[in-house]
Amino acid sequence: PEVLSYKSSSVVGWFGYNEIYQHGVWNNNANVHGYDSYQFDRNDIINLTLDCDQQRLELFHERFNKTHKLSVDIDQAPFPWQILVVLIHQDDCVKILPKR
């Protein structure tokens, strides 16, 4: 099987250290993209939406009431999309909820 790298043209998402990867392009300048991973605290609630119709990902940070959006080029990241979630603290968890 192919090993997936963050730098792959099919990867789109948010990471630590203010990093955004979008189809092989890396950016960690929060002043440019507005995503500041250092604002995340323990017990924060984050909503991740995979909007297949609009071909984008949305990351909503409840405490700051802020949404970050990344477009997905389906020529580079065709359906079905795969999700990678990295949890680093002992009590981190993920809940998959139905659309409201």
**Any idea which residue has 């990241």 for tokens?**
77
Query: Going edge to edge, which strands form the sheet with 20-22?
Result: 12-14, 20-22, 25-27
pTM of the model: 0.86
Cα–Cα nearest to 50, from 1, 3, 97, 2: 97
pLDDT (tens place) for every residue of the chain, 100 residues total: 566 678 889 999 999 999 999 999 999 999 999 999 999 988 899 999 999 999 999 999 999 999 999 999 999 999 999 888 888 888 888 888 887 7
Q: Which domain holds residue 52?
A: 1-91
- Residue 57 lies inside a defined structural domain of this protein: yes
Q: How many separate domains does the chain show?
A: 1
- Residue 17 lies inside a defined structural domain of this protein: yes
- Residue 96 lies inside a defined structural domain of this protein: no
